[in-house]
Amino acid sequence: MENKKNFVNDFGELLSKYAYRLNIKSMRYFTSENGSEFVEISFNDGFQKNLSVTGDSILAIVHDIYLKLR
């Protein structure tokens, strides 16, 4: 789980610096009280999207983020 958190934070930083078209401010990984896993994507305009990534591998998280952003 710590690897997912670090990956999502680093990936969000990478996208915010180099993928200007996506308008991403940050991404963070978090878990709910019942253990569900989520990625919160924050955009520069204040809008946010939450993705459910419960049980996903890191590669699957990248795929989910790609699908949500395209």
The DSSP-derived string for the chain is -HHHHHHHHHHHHHHHHH-GGG-EEEEEEEE-TTS-EEEEEEETTS-EEEEE-TT--HHHHHHHHHHHH-
pTM to 2 decimal places: 0.90
pLDDT in tens, 4-56: 999 999 999 999 999 988 999 999 999 999 999 999 999 999 999 999 999 99
Domains and CATH numbers, the chain: 2-69 (2.30.29)
d(CA 65, CA 70): 9
For residue 57, which amino acid is it?
A: S
